[in-house]
Amino acid sequence: MTRFLWPLAIFLALVGFLAVGLNLNPREVPSPLIDKPAPQFSLPVLHKPDMTLSRDDLMGQVWLLNVWASWCVSCRQEHPLLVELAKAGVVPIYGLNYKDDRSAGLKWLNEHGDPYTASIMDADGRIGIEYGVYGVPETFVIDKQGVIRHKHIGPITPQALQEKLLPMVRELNAS
């Protein structure tokens, strides 16, 4: 009897693997930068282009680096969440305005609200490459020592915020 059940068991195992595979998101590629120092940058600030902001200016605090652009459609999806998060003042959010036009970026923030403590301009996408950015929006959680602790790819969902990002920020702030 068992010899007839074997093929069924193997088939069910295959179905199981396929079901898991179908529910994984192929866009979410684990970043090799987790637990590595955040790449250095020194970029002009969106609102004050003659000022620059560098990674070292942000040391000593837990902060989020949110990669956004005015041309990015799914950035609109997560934006209200970021605005709300900024209002709550739990964690400073810095924006990396990725491959964008300055006036378009400023206009976009005027229309949708500006959750960023500051946005820096990565006009040619160079710093994006350093951070391994491939799908805007992306959000990095960076600790007090300037180490990347988490990367969220794609728009932040309320669930990801409550279950992953905020607990992480709390934990890093406590340490």
Which of 113, 132, 146, 154: binder of other proteins (CB under 8 A)? Answer: 132
SS3 assignment for the chain: CHHHHHHHHHHHHHHHHHHHHHHCCCCCCCCCCCCCECCCCEEEECCCCCCEEEHHHHCCCCEEEEEECCCCHHHHHHHHHHHHHHHHCCCCEEEEEECCCHHHHHHHHHHHCCCCCEEEEECCCHHHHHCCCCCCCEEEEECCCCEEEEEEECCCCHHHHHHHHHHHHHHHHHC
Which of 92, 113, 125, 154: binder of other proteins (CB under 8 A)? Answer: 125
**Binding of other proteins by 99 (CB under 8 A):** yes
**Binding of other proteins by 31 (CB under 8 A):** yes
**Binding of other proteins by 26 (CB under 8 A):** yes
Which of 63, 68, 131, 140: binder of other proteins (CB under 8 A)? Answer: 131
CB of 153 closer than 8 Å to CB of 29: yes
Shortest gap between Cβ of 126 and other proteins (angstroms)? 8
**Binding of other proteins by 154 (CB under 8 A):** no
Which of 30, 88, 103, 174: binder of other proteins (CB under 8 A)? Answer: 30
54-83 positions binding other proteins, by CB under 8 A? none
Question: How many residues in the shown chain lie near other proteins by CB under 8 A?
Answer: 17
Residues of this chain that bind other proteins (CB under 8 A): 26-27, 29-33, 99, 124-125, 128-132, 134-135
